[in-house]
Structure 1
Amino acid sequence: MSQPPRENLFLNLGFNLLLPVMILNKGAKWLPFLSPTSVLLVALAFPVGYFLYDLKKRKKRNLISILGIVGVLLTGSIGLFKLPPIYFAIKETLMPLLIGIAVVVSLKTKNPLIHALLYNPDIFDAEKIDARIDTPAKKASFNDLMKLCTWIIALSFLVSAFLNFFITKMIVVTDPRVDQAAYNSEIGTQHWVGLIVISICTLPISFYAMWRLFKGIEQLTGLTMEEVIHADAKKDSKDKT
C-alpha cells in the first residue's frame, strides 16, 4: 500500500495561519469593497480550502487546518461584534491551552497527538523503530518515553497560553467600539510580537522534547539519529541544502 504524499509545512502554515491572520488584520485596507462579514469569509476560505485539499490528497484530517478554522471564526466573530479587548485576550489564551490539554488527553486514545507533533511517520522510519522495540519491556519504556515527551510539549503550550494572555493584555487595549482602526493595528502588532516572544520561549522546550525522543529511541533500539530519520525526510533535507 503506497504512503500518502508528504505535506508541505510552509504551505500548511501559510494557508492555515499566516494568510487568514493577515486578511483579518488588513482586510479593511486591502479589500475596502468588502463588508467585515465578507472579509471573514475570505479569511476562512484559506484553512477550509486547505483542509478539503489535504483530505482529498492525503486522506487525513489536517489538525492545523481545524485549528486555523476555529481561530479565524473566533477572531472574526470578536471583530464583527466589536467585543471588548479582554475577549480577544481570552481567545488567544484558550487556543494554546486547549491544544495542550488535547495533547495530554489524546494519550488515552488510539492516535495520540504526540505522533503528529513529534513522532511523525513523515519524519521517523516508524517501521524500522517498531521492529527494534520487540519486547514487552521495551514497549513499556517506549510508552513512558512518549508520555514524557507529551508532557513536555503540553508544557510548551501552557507557557504559550500565559505569554499570549500577558502580551495581548499589554498591546490590545483599544475598545473596537471606540476606534476600530487602532484596535486592528494593535491586533497586528500583537501577532508579530507574540510570534517572536513565544517562539523564543517555547522553541527550546520543543527542541528538548525532540532531543529526548531521539535519545530515548537510540537507547531502546541502538539506531542512530541518521538511521531513524525517514529516507524521504533525509532526501528533502539534502535537496534544500
Structure 2
Amino acid sequence: MTSPNTSSVSDHKPRPWIDLLVSIIIPSVILMKFSGDEYLGSVNALIVGLAFPLGWGLFELIRYGKKNFIALLGIISVTLTGGIGLLELDAGWLAIKEAAVPAVIGLAVLVSTRTRYPLVRTLLYNPNVLDVDKIQKTLVEKGKVAEFEARLLNASYFFAATFLFSSIMNYVLARWIVTSDAGTQAFNEELGRMTLVSYPMIAIPSMVMMMLIFWYLWRTISRLTGYKLEQVMAPHLADK
C-alpha cells in the first residue's frame, strides 16, 4: 500500500513561479528595500532575505525527497553567501563563490561521463522524459548504439559548457554589481540587485542552452531511430 508521503512525492510537479518568487523576488526586495537601520538593519535583512531560499530548498529536500547533488549545492551556496555577509569578508569572495558553484556542477558533469551514470543521461535521457527502453531496443536493432553514445557524450560536453558560461557570467556580474563592504546596507542592496539581474542575464540564457541540448539529443534519436517525438515520449507524458 502506498503511503501518503510516497504519493505526494510521486505526484510532485515543478512550481517555477513559486521558486522564482521565494528564491529570487522576495529575497531581492528584502535586501534592497529593508536593509536600512529604520527597517531590519543590514544583518537582519541579510538573515531574513537568505532564509527564504534556504528554507524553501530545505523544505523541497525534506518534503519531496529531492536529495540530489545540485539541490544540495544550491543550499550550500546560499549558506556561503550568508556567511560572507555576516562575517564581513571581502566582496571578492562573493564573486569567487558565485563562479565556483556552477563550475563545480560543470566539473561534475564532465566527471560523470567517465561513470556508468552521466548526468545528461540522468537528467534528459531518462524514463521520466523519454521511452528509453523503446529507443534503446531500436538502436540495438539498427546497430546505432555506438553512434548514439558518441552523440550523448557530445551532449554532455555541451551541458558542461552551459555551466562554464554561468560560472564566467556569475563572476563578472558579482564583480560588476557588488563592490561595497560585506555587512553594510549597500552590500545587501547590491546583493539583491545582483540576484534580480542574474535571472535574465544568466538563468534564462542557460535555460535556452539546455533546450538546445535537448533538441540536439532529440534530433539524434529521430535520425537514428526514425521515430517522431510523440512516439518516444515517456508513456505518462504521451498519455497527456
TM-score (norm 1): 0.80
Q: Point out the more displaced range, 29-38 or 153-162.
A: 29-38
Structure 2, gaps ≥5 residues long:
none
Asked which structure has the greater RCO (Cα within 8 Å, sep 6+), the reply is 2
Aligned position for 2:14: 9
Give the aligned CA root-mean-square deviation in angstroms.
3.1
The structural deviation recorded for 1:114 is 0.9
Aligned position for 2:160: 154
1:51 matched to 2:56: no
Please give the per-residue CA displacement for 1:1-37, whole angstroms capped at 9, x wherever unaligned: x9972542226x855x762555655279499499579
The structural deviation recorded for 1:202 is 3.3
1:181 matched to 2:185: yes
Aligned position for 1:205: 209
Q: SS of the residue aligned with 1:110? A: coil
CA distance, structure 1, for counterparts of residue 108 and residue 60 of structure 2: 22
Of 60, 72, 76, the residue aligned with 1:66 is 72
In 2, are the aligned partners of 1:36 and 1:80 still within 8 Å (CA)? no
Percent identity between matched residues is 30
In 1, are the aligned partners of 2:70 and 2:105 still within 8 Å (CA)? no
Structure 1, gaps ≥5 residues long:
237-241
Question: 1:62-211 counterparts in 2 under 5 A?
Answer: 62-134=68-140, 137-177=143-183, 180-199=184-203, 201-211=205-215
Q: CA separation of 1:43/1:9 partners in 2, compared to 1, >3 Å: closer, same or farther?
A: closer
Q: SS of the residue aligned with 1:108? A: coil
Please give the per-residue CA displacement for 1:186-236, whole angstroms capped at 9, x wherever unaligned: 111111212111245434432321111001111222211121222333455
Q: CA separation of 1:199/1:24 partners in 2, compared to 1, >3 Å: closer, same or farther?
A: closer
Q: SS of the residue aligned with 1:9? A: coil
In 1, are the aligned partners of 2:90 and 2:181 still within 8 Å (CA)? yes
CA distance, structure 2, for counterparts of residue 203 and residue 48 of structure 1: 23
Shift >3 Å, 4+ stretches: 20-25, 27-43, 199-204
Q: CA separation of 1:41/1:68 partners in 2, compared to 1, >3 Å: closer, same or farther?
A: same
CA distance, structure 2, for counterparts of residue 35 and residue 204 of structure 1: 36
In 1, are the aligned partners of 2:34 and 2:45 still within 8 Å (CA)? no
